[in-house]
Amino acid sequence: MTDFTREIQLVNQLADVSTEVICQYFRQANIYAETKLADRSSIVTIADRQAEEAMVNILRETVPNDGIIREEGENIPSKNGRYWVLDPIDGTSAFVKGLPVFGTLIGLVDSHQNLPLVGCLNQPILQERWLGITGKIPTLNGKPLENPYAKLTDSQLKDACLTSTTPIMFITQRQQAIAAKLQQVCKRIAFGGDCYNYGSLASGWSSMPMVILESDLKYYDFCALIPILEGVGCIITDWLGNTLNSESTEVLAASNQTLHQQALEVINN
Amino acid sequence: MTDFTREIQLVNQLADVSTEVICQYFRQANIYAETKLADRSSIVTIADRQAEEAMVNILRETVPNDGIIREEGENIPSKNGRYWVLDPIDGTSAFVKGLPVFGTLIGLVDSHQNLPLVGCLNQPILQERWLGITGKIPTLNGKPLENPYAKLTDSQLKDACLTSTTPIMFITQRQQAIAAKLQQVCKRIAFGGDCYNYGSLASGWSSMPMVILESDLKYYDFCALIPILEGVGCIITDWLGNTLNSESTEVLAASNQTLHQQALEVINN
């Protein structure tokens, strides 16, 4: 098995160039922000566009056979089954408000096996970089992550914090009903946070075990997070408990297996 | 008119001691977190209790004639009409999740005139300290704040970001209907952020003008923010456009007068 040295170097290069772009625009007024969707759930700034373009340029030059799945521009097909999955600013809403709890998501996936090989969550303002590599302990700024909740088998939803970026992401009546059911049984409900919530989850930062329930997501919203979370004992699947793939839109993540199982039971009963 | 030198010194002392306590507990597991209210909208950690206690101890010793209105413990009556209004951790939810977008709120108010004299929003982890003094330009870490949106008279809700900490704060049907109306007309809806949203508002950090709509608040949730916001041309009132007082629970804040007026019209028509 490869140690992914070259890929990690490339991931760091992508995180560096996107950091440079994003820091130029963070907390600046009058950056163009265009609403992409009629439901106003998505927004584009110059920072999104330029950060993605900078990453894509490097990839086209360095690994021209790899494909690219991206938030802003057209996807690029792969010649070897490997895809880079890019979200320049996950949490544009926090970015637009000037809150440093958004992130750049960079994933590398082997599409033949639906296997995320490498994942990076980069917070450019706070200079926090999570890196996950399949089969290895993930790191934050090079330091191995520890999730104190990973091995607990007595966690309970009534002692857990449930988080979702926004209630607006629960679109269908079914999704709204499921969110409401889970909200009823958890100790605390907290909105906001976007991908930074997953960084916190992987790092065991929350002062109580955590469950993240989200819907209406795209592949680039979660692909990079998978190796970071799984490498530290967190569980991330779809709402049925299935492995996530490029078509998934409903995501359930939890601090440990016990909590994840309980959440699945609430969702599906 | 006093220049509040002594009060500012005291505010900084309070912000320093609360910082010390909060940094001890931030991102620590197993800090006791007790749910205060049946609706799970509020939570207490050791950090809240100890940070407030540390501030109260200093105030009792330094200004024993001043009263205290506080989130956690019993209020203390004033002998001179002056009250310190304390919220050790506004945004306990973000604190519990390990997100550095909560803050300590320290206000000093002359209750005879319902006049907030001094207000401080302190973010202990990112080491950001906003300070507002009635009649003066507010500062962030000693540097005068600038709000680029303050003087704009052509701002429109359709170009603005609407933010609220959580949809759960809209409790009554009337509140929910008002929130829904305003959400319909704004460009972007963003949840989360707590008092940090107001710090961003005062600093003009958002990349589009911003409106904050909140309800179910207590005096200590907004008192300290008033001199910070008003000193930089932001508007903060209740949902009828009235000056906030210790009984207010519904808060509307905006980047400028034009936007605030438009939001008031949506709310009250």
pLDDT at residue B256 in the model: 98
Which of A25, A99, A169 has the highest number of chain B CBs within 10 A, making it the mutation to test binding with B? A99
Domain count, chain A: 2
Helices A257-268 and A173-185, interaxial angle, to 10°?
Answer: 130
Tell me, yes or no, whether B152 lies in a domain. Answer: no
Residues B178, B128: one domain? no
Minimum-distance CB partner of A93 among B43, B45, B188: B188
Residues A128, A163: one domain? no
Minimum-distance CB partner of A161 among B97, B149, B161: B97
Q: Does A106 touch chain B (CB under 8 A)?
A: no
pLDDT tops 90 at residue A31: no
Q: What separation in angstroms does the CA of B222 have from each of B92, B170, B235, B245?
A: 15, 17, 13, 10
**CB contact at 8 A, A168 and A249:** no
Judge whether B89 is annotated as a binding position: yes
Q: Show residues of chain A in contact with B197, CB under 8 Å.
A: 97, 99
* Mean pLDDT per 10-residue interval, chain B, length 269 residues: 88 98 90 54 78 97 97 91 97 93 97 94 98 96 96 94 94 97 94 95 96 97 98 98 97 98 97
Q: What is the pLDDT of residues A168-184, one digit of tens each?
A: 999 999 999 999 999 99
Contact B99 A126 (CB under 8 A): no
Å from A98 to nearest chain B CA?
A: 5
Residues A38, A128: one domain? yes
Judge whether B247 is annotated as a binding position: no
Tell me, yes or no, whether B94 lies in a domain. Answer: yes
Contact A99 B200 (CB under 8 A): yes
pLDDT at residue B39 in the model: 45
Nearest to A241 by CA among A228, A232, A254, A231: A254
Contact A25 B207 (CB under 8 A): yes
Å from B139 to nearest chain A CA?
A: 17
Minimum-distance CB partner of A33 among B189, B196, B207: B207
Contact A167 B163 (CB under 8 A): no
Residues A102, A200: one domain? no
Q: Residues 229..268 of A with a Cβ closer than 8 Å to B: which?
A: none
pLDDT at residue A179 in the model: 97
Residues A172, A119: one domain? no
Residues A33, A134: one domain? yes
**CB contact at 8 A, A238 and A248:** yes
Q: Does B27 touch chain A (CB under 8 A)?
A: yes
**CB contact at 8 A, B267 and B252:** yes
Contact A191 B31 (CB under 8 A): no
Confidence of residue A43 (pLDDT cuts 50, 70, 90): low
pLDDT at residue B107 in the model: 98
Domain range holding B244? 157-268
pLDDT tops 70 at residue A152: yes
Nearest to A93 by CA among A193, A184, A2: A193
Residue of A nearest to B197 (CA): A97
Residues B136, B215: one domain? no
Contact B97 A166 (CB under 8 A): no
**CB contact at 8 A, A179 and A167:** yes
Q: Does A174 touch chain B (CB under 8 A)?
A: no
Tell me, yes or no, whether A76 lies in a domain. Answer: yes
Contact B187 A93 (CB under 8 A): no
Query: Can you give the CATH number for the domain in which A86 is found?
Result: 3.30.540.10
Residues B106, B188: one domain? no
Tell me, yes or no, whether B151 lies in a domain. Answer: no
Contact A99 B40 (CB under 8 A): no
Q: Residues 107..166 of B with a Cβ closer than 8 Å to A: which?
A: 126, 148-149, 161, 163, 165-166
The pair of three-digit structure tokens given for residue A224, joined into one six-digit string: 């990079």
Q: What is the pLDDT of residues A219-241, one digit of tens each?
A: 999 999 999 999 999 999 999 99
Residues B74, B106: one domain? yes
Å from A185 to nearest chain B CA?
A: 10
Average pLDDT, whole number, for chain A?
A: 93
Query: Can you give the CATH number for the domain in which A185 is found?
Result: 3.40.190.80
pLDDT at residue B43 in the model: 62
Q: Residues 36..95 of A with a Cβ closer than 8 Å to B: which?
A: 40, 43, 45, 93-95
CA–CA dist A97, B225 (Å, integer)? 17
Q: Show residues of chain A in contact with B149, CB under 8 Å.
A: 29
Residues A15, A135: one domain? yes
Q: What separation in angstroms does the CA of A252 have from each of A37, A93, A255, B110?
A: 24, 21, 11, 49
What number of C-beta contacts closer than 8 Å exist between A and B?
A: 151
Chosen domain end from A144, A177, A210: A144
Q: Show residues of chain B in contact with A259, CB under 8 Å.
A: none
Residues A185, A238: one domain? yes
Chosen domain end from A111, A144, A177: A144
Q: Show residues of chain B in contact with A188, CB under 8 Å.
A: 33, 35, 40, 43, 93, 96
Amino acid at A179: A
CA–CA dist A190, B97 (Å, integer)? 8
Q: What is the pLDDT of residues A53-107, one digit of tens each?
A: 999 999 999 999 999 999 888 999 999 999 999 999 999 889 999 999 999 999 9
Pairing mode, strands B43-45 and A43-45: unpaired
**CB contact at 8 A, A90 and A96:** no
- If you write DSSP's letter for every residue of A162-183 in order, what string do you get? EEES-GGG--SHHHHHHHHHHH
The pair of three-digit structure tokens given for residue A65, joined into one six-digit string: 């056979």
Judge whether A90 is annotated as a binding position: yes
Residues A126, A235: one domain? no
Residues 6+ apart with CB under 8 A from B180: none
pLDDT tops 90 at residue A42: no
pLDDT at residue A3 in the model: 82
Give the dihedral of Cα atoms B226, B216, A40, B92; nearest 10 deg.
Answer: 80
Å from A128 to nearest chain B CA?
A: 13
Contact A27 B203 (CB under 8 A): yes
